[in-house]
Amino acid sequence: MVSLRRTWLAGALLTLMVAACTDSADEVRSESSPASPTTEAASPGKPGSSSSDGGDYGGEIAPPRELTVVMSGDVLIHTGVWESARADAAAAGRSGMDFRPMFASMEPVYTDADLAICHLEVPLAERDGPFLNYPIFSAPPQVVRGLKAAGIDTCTTASNHSLDTGLEGLLRTLRTLDEKGVGHAGTAATRKQSKTPVIVDVDGVSVALLSYSYGTNGIPIPSEAPWSVPLIDTEKILRVAAKARAAGAEIVLVALHAGTEYTTSPNEQQLEVFDALTKSPDIDLVYGHHAHVPQPIDVVNGNWVAYGLGNFVAQQSTDVPDTYRGVTARFEFVEQPDGTFEVRKARFIPTMITPASGGPMRVLNAPAALRDPDTDPALLSSLRDAVANVRQDVFSLGARKHGLRMAH
């Protein structure tokens, strides 16, 4: 990461803080170069309610703070995914599973950002299993090591599969993330945790990350832990966002697990909730996942939204090619003179999952793979299709006019 300093603020400290506050035009950016300002089609962004003292040190005005956030879609671990990780470990002369080669293509994208987020849709099993596939998932915990090695800092966890293996599986998932040093937002291990907005300090900028799901596939939320899976409730989300802002969050991100599966357009719930949330001065950006296919990025009420990022990794039916195509969104925030933050630049990266049946499964940065002379020629046609289809889906609501561009 770029000069990283992250501290997850939770528990007593944050509680005290809350209490005290009652196409040809597409940009192609070198993967090794830092994000830079642009004067093209200024990306809109609505100021929040935070403020600063102007940053005057010794009579000099400090430069505005900047923050780049990237987020990817569903981490959905089917049998073919973990078997490919097992094959990668065996190829290296090791036992077990190794997910690092699977995600390695995305490392430059994640490490070039200040905060990298994925959506861990499924609960994690014990190290030796048993591992379960659709419709009840229980994934190898080794996947967390692979995500962290690729540069993922934190995962959202509220999904329709959060309770696939009961409260025990939910708690085990959070423990595993904690043990591996990967942050999480969404599902909660305790009532206190559920009431404390997750705020991460990224190089001196406080970012809140809120995560909610449309439901739990009909699995009842445990009566002894009704707070364990946060469900989409617009008024509640607005209250929590306001609480996060009052606790010092300078940027508030909301992740919604919602949408109609295998549909590239947002559904009525998405449109309604995204519209309501983006009207709030306490929310800076709303994005989603669950549909397993790419959905549009747009500007709603002056704020950027990404309705659905598709799959980051999965092995679903090849009859629906879009389930092998995903979106990694990249938003560059810059501090305004009043101390608030706005999105200066919005970018997206089409990704493609190579089916395990055709060799080792890989999550590829599709534009970068197309430029790489070492890319398997057999993949070129699929990569071109991935880029073309993702572009079509992402631009379908006209966000190009707001300055959205494709990057690496």
110-168 pLDDT tens trace: 999 999 999 999 999 999 999 999 999 999 999 999 999 999 999 999 999 999 999 99
Q: What pLDDT score does 298 carry?
A: 99
Q: What pLDDT score does 41 carry?
A: 31
How much is the average pLDDT of 209-229? 98
Element (H, E) at 89: helix 79-91
Q: What pLDDT score does 53 carry?
A: 42
Q: Which pLDDT tens digit goes with each residue over 241-270?
A: 999 999 999 999 999 999 999 999 999 999
Widest distance between CA atoms in the chain: 63
Domains and CATH numbers, the chain: 6-14+66-406 (3.60.21.10)
Q: Band of the pLDDT at 358, cuts 50, 70, 90?
A: low
Q: What pLDDT score does 37 carry?
A: 28
The contacts of residue 246 (CB under 8 Å, 6+ apart) are 18, 21
Q: Which pLDDT tens digit goes with each residue over 285-296?
A: 999 999 999 999
Q: Strands 285-289 and 303-306: what pairing?
A: parallel
Q: What pLDDT score does 54 carry?
A: 44
Alpha helices in 188-342 (DSSP H): 191-194, 234-246, 268-278
The contacts of residue 141 (CB under 8 Å, 6+ apart) are 124, 125, 126, 127, 176
CA-CA distance, 172 to 170, in Å (whole number)?
Answer: 5
Q: Which pLDDT tens digit goes with each residue over 304-340?
A: 999 999 999 999 999 999 999 999 999 999 999 999 9
The closest alpha carbon to 390, from 374, 367, 356, belongs to 367
**Tokens 């357009």 belong to which residue?**
265
Q: Which pLDDT tens digit goes with each residue over 78-87?
A: 999 999 999 9
* Percent of the chain at pLDDT exceeding 90: 83
For the chain, the average pLDDT equals 89
The Cα angle at residue 252 between residues 124 and 286, in degrees rounded to 5: 75
How much is the average pLDDT of 2-31? 37
Q: Examine the pLDDT at 348 and tell me if it is beyond 50.
A: yes
The closest alpha carbon to 120, from 191, 214, 183, belongs to 183
CA-CA distance, 27 to 68, in Å (whole number)?
Answer: 16
The closest alpha carbon to 118, from 141, 150, 88, belongs to 150
Q: What pLDDT score does 198 carry?
A: 98
Q: Band of the pLDDT at 61, cuts 50, 70, 90?
A: confident
Q: Band of the pLDDT at 49, cuts 50, 70, 90?
A: very low
The contacts of residue 332 (CB under 8 Å, 6+ apart) are 35, 66, 67, 68, 343, 344, 345, 346, 347
Tell me the pTM: 0.87
